[in-house]
Structure 1
Amino acid sequence: MFFLRRQHRAAFTLVELLVVIAIIGVLVGLLLPAVQAAREAARRMSCSNNFKQIGLGIHNYHAAYNKMPQHMSGPAEPNVPEHDPRVDTNQMQNSFLVGILPFLEQQAIWEQISNPLVSMPDGSLRPGGPWQPFGPSHDVDEGSNERRGWFYAPWITELPTLRCPSDPGRGVPAQGRTNYAACMGDSIERLNRGTRAWWSLTVEDSDSAQEGRAACRGAFIARSQTGFRDILDGLANTVVAGEIATDLGDRDVRTNPGKVTGAYTNPEACQSERDPERPLFWRATTNVNAKDSDSWTLRYGRGYRWASGYGLYSGFNTILPPNEAACHDDNGDWRPHRDDGTLPPSSRHQGGVHILMADGAVKFVTDSIESGNRQATPVRLSNVAPDPRPGSQSPYGLWGALGTRASKETIEEEL
């Protein structure tokens, strides 16, 4: 009797193999967004934790000195104009982040800054003697005065605590980047000078003081001291710091401010300069801070210098909502970081930014937060109708109210 032996296949057929590959591809396609979302959630949590450390640093500083760290601090040369950068003094340019370094477990770099520093970044001795305490000006002057901040090691040191993991920006043309910035209120005018006279930062003349007090309504005032006692709207209702994305050299409207005339009185003056086909970027013809064709100006990007207090690098205002276009008033200054303008917070997170409240709480604010009349002239010392008078409530709705320290707004919404 003969038996037929059953034949066994040794491998998949081509059709079966293609089916298996297709199933694997579908599974990967379904799982990949979840994996990416989980990674971004972890990065966002790390970013929030960094902000909590900064908030704790501000509170510990206040507990030690009964005041907040000054934004734009340091020594200044008497009777020297603000626009004259120095190598022997920093002209009151240091950001609030410099002041809280000892409270961020950065004692080593604080010791370098607060004492004379004899060395250059490469370890060699500085020609002409040590750097003065609190460092030189942060301004970039190629080929003169040793390029100031570029040859001062602390200014080009990047600190992990000041970086959001979601932001991919690294290295030059920045010095040391930061993703966390001071809240300067809901105005444009005197964003960088505060109450100081233009001709001498050691002087508060009558006009400068009046203009500064009228316009500078945030928890931080450039080149002036503030404390929790000044935040009359309540610590839980006032923003002290917010997130900013750093510039990647791609003409992003959030990180490379447009430059137009009229931005002082119209915060949306730059909106028409967006590329209609790529609205997150400027037109190729738009005048911007960091120009692709000019290696010099490429250094003027958002968040490029953690230790510099200029609004471009470490400040923001609560006029336009998060992730809107940044816009400088073009006053012809060849150093565009000195221009005042509309500087919203921004981030690489989806749909919003982290903000730090004065009570130390970290909250996530969406891009759609109510922001009132975006074309309204900011509060300032002005007799021109219909400009809002000094002391007025913010014209920028809930977002503007969160940015002011003592404008008597009532905030009932939970962020």
Structure 2
Amino acid sequence: MAQSRNRNHGFTLVELLVVIAIIGVLVGLLLPAVQAAREAARRMSCSNNFKQIGLAVHNYHSAYKAMPTHGSGTDDGSDSLFNSYWYQQSDAYNCKMLSVFVGLTPFFEQQGLWDQISNPMDYDSDGVIDFPSMGPSNEEVNYAPWSTEIPMLRCPSDPGVGLPALGRTNYAVSLGDAGFELQFGNLSVWLHPEAEQSAQSNASHRGAFVLHRQLKFRDVIDGLSNTICMGEILTDLGDNDVRTMPLNSSGGANPIENPSHCRELGFIDPERPGFWGPAAPARAADTNTRGARWASAWNPFTAFNTILPPNREFCTSTNWANAEVFPAASRHQGGVHILLCDGSVQFVTDSIEAGNSNNPVVRRAADGGTANYLPGNPSPYGLWGALGTRAGREVIDQAL
């Protein structure tokens, strides 16, 4: 009886190529799902950060019977406010330009950082105090707290890291639905309490936060659940993103009269509508971009307004500091997170009803205003604008 011989069969080249092709197709099909799952996880982490910040605001209010001040700190003690406020730089004081996040550090698990800030610092260990308690002005790179990256203040979907920014933040306070003299905040009221400038300044301060002024929950007449406390912003990647870098003042924008003017000037790249094109005027300094300094109360760094809907362009008429129109923005698909004053977090889409984006910004008639945007009127920027005002008495009848 003949014995059959065992023969070892291997894969042919064709069979191997077929298997590899099938694996490639499966990877191609699964990769978008994996990426979507990762982004969903990052978005949830971002929402959790915001919830912790909201809890910190409420704990702060419970402790001090008021919300933290946006634009607090130390000055030179002189009688002239402009000597120590606003645009000055100093190692001896911080010009009262600390953001709300500085005061919140002990309330979102950053007690160690607060201890550094609230005590004098000898950063070079030579036995001489280099910086006073509460620190210098915010551009001082040798002052470690100002360049510290706080995980609670960063959205995992934003890849921005390092210089030229200092400690970055993806969260910002809401200054409401106006864009006139917001760089002065309550400073105008202090300097000229009897003047028209004071009245003009007050008229535009319609949000949950006002620069240099401490507000309480009771000031939010519209209701804590109907008023935005904070929102997401992006940090700049040096890529001419319209949401993180404004046009240079030579661009001729006038967002006071038309918030959409930067879009209509024709400087946006038609092939990449999220970026300024090659014809756009020169960029401002890279350090003056969105979210570049968590500890600074400057509007581009830690504030936004509800004039243009989320993820629209950052637009200013004179320089980056004035920043009349600076919307919320994020790297999440289709919208941004907002923190309401009651501590809840909502995801708002870019398509939220936002009224007339060409309507002039809210300000007093003495500065050229007309009836369609006088203070006291409902927000001209729809549901989005109404959510930004703390005392507009608008009725919020739509689900977010």
**TM-score computed with the length of structure 2 as normaliser:** 0.92
How far does residue 264 in structure 1 lie from its aligned partner after superposition?
Answer: 2.0
SS in 2 for 1:365: strand
| Residue of structure 1 in register with 2:361 after alignment | 378
| Residue of structure 2 in register with 1:249 after alignment | 238
| Residue of structure 2 in register with 1:294 after alignment | none
| Residue of structure 2 in register with 1:142 after alignment | none
| Residue of structure 1 in register with 2:133 after alignment | 133
How far does residue 316 in structure 1 lie from its aligned partner after superposition?
Answer: 0.3
In 2, Cα distance between equivalents of 1:115 and 1:2? 96
| Residue of structure 1 in register with 2:38 after alignment | 39
The 5 Å alignment of 1:95-106 reads 95-106=99-110
One-letter code of the match for 2:257?
T
How far does residue 280 in structure 1 lie from its aligned partner after superposition?
Answer: 0.6
Q: 1:397 to 1:251 in 2, by over 3 A?
A: same
- Which of residues 303, 306, 311 is equivalent to 2:299? 311
| Residue of structure 1 in register with 2:343 after alignment | 360
How far does residue 15 in structure 1 lie from its aligned partner after superposition?
Answer: 1.4
In 1, Cα distance between equivalents of 2:196 and 2:374? 16
SS in 2 for 1:281: coil
In 1, Cα distance between equivalents of 2:372 and 2:281? 27
SS in 2 for 1:278: coil
Q: What is the RMSD computed on CA atoms of the aligned residues?
A: 1.9
| Residue of structure 2 in register with 1:22 after alignment | 21
In 2, Cα distance between equivalents of 1:203 and 1:153? 36
Which consecutive residues of structure 1, in runs of 5 or more, have no partner in the other structure?
140-148, 291-296, 331-335
Q: 1:86 to 1:224 in 2, by over 3 A?
A: same
- Which of residues 286, 311, 319 is equivalent to 1:323? 311
One-letter code of the match for 1:15?
V
How far does residue 16 in structure 1 lie from its aligned partner after superposition?
Answer: 1.0
How far does residue 362 in structure 1 lie from its aligned partner after superposition?
Answer: 0.4
| Residue of structure 2 in register with 1:110 after alignment | 114
- Which of residues 270, 273, 296 is equivalent to 1:276? 270
In 2, Cα distance between equivalents of 1:2 and 1:136? 97
Instruction: Indicate conservation of the 8 Å contact 2:234/2:330, yes or no.
Output: yes
Does 2:382 match 1:397? yes
| Residue of structure 2 in register with 1:71 after alignment | 70
SS in 2 for 1:250: coil
Instruction: Indicate conservation of the 8 Å contact 2:71/2:98, yes or no.
Output: yes
SS in 1 for 2:47: helix
How far does residue 243 in structure 1 lie from its aligned partner after superposition?
Answer: 0.6
| Residue of structure 2 in register with 1:302 after alignment | 290
One-letter code of the match for 1:133?
S
Q: 1:341 to 1:228 in 2, by over 3 A?
A: same
In 1, Cα distance between equivalents of 2:136 and 2:178? 28
How far does residue 339 in structure 1 lie from its aligned partner after superposition?
Answer: 1.9
| Residue of structure 2 in register with 1:184 after alignment | 175
Instruction: Indicate conservation of the 8 Å contact 1:181/1:314, yes or no.
Output: yes
Instruction: Indicate conservation of the 8 Å contact 2:254/2:316, yes or no.
Output: no
Does 2:188 match 1:197? yes
In 1, Cα distance between equivalents of 2:165 and 2:313? 20
Instruction: Indicate conservation of the 8 Å contact 2:181/2:322, yes or no.
Output: no
**Any idea what the Cα deviations from partners look like across 1:387-412, whole Å, max 9, x if unmatched?**
51111110000000000000010001
Which consecutive residues of structure 2, in runs of 5 or more, have no partner in the other structure?
none
How far does residue 289 in structure 1 lie from its aligned partner after superposition?
Answer: 4.4
SS in 2 for 1:186: coil
In 2, Cα distance between equivalents of 1:373 and 1:311? 23
How far does residue 87 in structure 1 lie from its aligned partner after superposition?
Answer: 2.5
Q: 1:394 to 1:320 in 2, by over 3 A?
A: same
Instruction: Indicate conservation of the 8 Å contact 2:176/2:306, yes or no.
Output: yes
Q: 1:159 to 1:204 in 2, by over 3 A?
A: farther
> Percent identity between the aligned chains?
52
How far does residue 155 in structure 1 lie from its aligned partner after superposition?
Answer: 0.6
How far does residue 256 in structure 1 lie from its aligned partner after superposition?
Answer: 1.0
How far does residue 124 in structure 1 lie from its aligned partner after superposition?
Answer: 3.3
SS in 2 for 1:279: coil
Instruction: Indicate conservation of the 8 Å contact 2:363/2:374, yes or no.
Output: yes
In 2, Cα distance between equivalents of 1:111 and 1:246? 27
In 1, Cα distance between equivalents of 2:127 and 2:46? 36
**Any idea what the Cα deviations from partners look like across 1:293-327, whole Å, max 9, x if unmatched?**
xxxx1211210000001110010000111111111
The 5 Å alignment of 1:338-353 reads 338-353=321-336
One-letter code of the match for 2:134?
F
In 2, Cα distance between equivalents of 1:217 and 1:11? 76
SS in 2 for 1:356: strand
SS in 2 for 1:154: helix
Please, which moves more after superposition, 217-226 or 184-193?
184-193
Please, which moves more after superposition, 356-365 or 261-270?
261-270
How far does residue 215 in structure 1 lie from its aligned partner after superposition?
Answer: 0.4
In 2, Cα distance between equivalents of 1:126 and 1:368? 57
SS in 1 for 2:273: strand
Please, which moves more after superposition, 81-90 or 177-186?
81-90
Instruction: Indicate conservation of the 8 Å contact 1:236/1:358, yes or no.
Output: yes
Instruction: Indicate conservation of the 8 Å contact 2:188/2:201, yes or no.
Output: no
**TM-score computed with the length of structure 1 as normaliser:** 0.89
In 2, Cα distance between equivalents of 1:230 and 1:73? 19
How far does residue 205 in structure 1 lie from its aligned partner after superposition?
Answer: 5.5
**Any idea what the Cα deviations from partners look like across 1:259-287, whole Å, max 9, x if unmatched?**
34312221111103211111110012312
One-letter code of the match for 1:322?
P
In 1, Cα distance between equivalents of 2:306 and 2:273? 21
How far does residue 83 in structure 1 lie from its aligned partner after superposition?
Answer: 2.8
How far does residue 232 in structure 1 lie from its aligned partner after superposition?
Answer: 0.5
In 1, Cα distance between equivalents of 2:118 and 2:196? 33
Q: 1:229 to 1:263 in 2, by over 3 A?
A: same
How far does residue 133 in structure 1 lie from its aligned partner after superposition?
Answer: 2.1
